[in-house]
Structure 1
């Protein structure tokens, strides 16, 4: 069986795992957060892997880098939601620290992968020497 390009990427697998952890943990948030913080953190967490997948189908490294950037922004959104959840006492310090550490590791992995996607720039023609 053939695989899609993104299924071969460790960052995609890590993002998928992280998204499932966020989903499971957010299920414990109060019901009055269902359409607010719970929905927001789940959508942002899912968006990390979704953007990696979408970007991998692009026609260029430049386009893939753009979608990897969206993944990083979604990850930052998740971290902000985690801060909100901690402040609202939906997460204790130990849970928050664990998620924060995982998010930081994922951010570094995604950033390192993004750096490998070299964008070829058209070089300017050199001026003739006179």
Structure 2
């Protein structure tokens, strides 16, 4: 990818994220724009989102993809580009995997036997 495309990707990531936060509600769910990949001609854009919370990721993606035109229009008003890419939203499940990993580590920590206090080791000497 070119440097220009990288800049456009980052700019769109921020603007799409702002638009989603401002114009959409996902009760009990955090939706984060992780990455945007546009084609070199700026006609297509894949938007990778992370979903953590009560709503099923498929519901969030369905809502975003069904209203992609609204998001594109909002972004086009704020970002001046020759073409505003047609956006498609895809799931990046790394955020959920991270939450699952933290929960697993907490469960393991709860089940580990507790080490004796450091002072107890020195009392025998």
What TM-score do the two structures reach when normalised by structure 1? Answer: 0.28
Structure showing greater radius of gyration is: 2
Question: Which TM-score applies when normalising by structure 2?
Answer: 0.28
**Between Structure 1 and Structure 2, which shows a larger proportion of helix residues?**
1
Higher strand proportion: 2
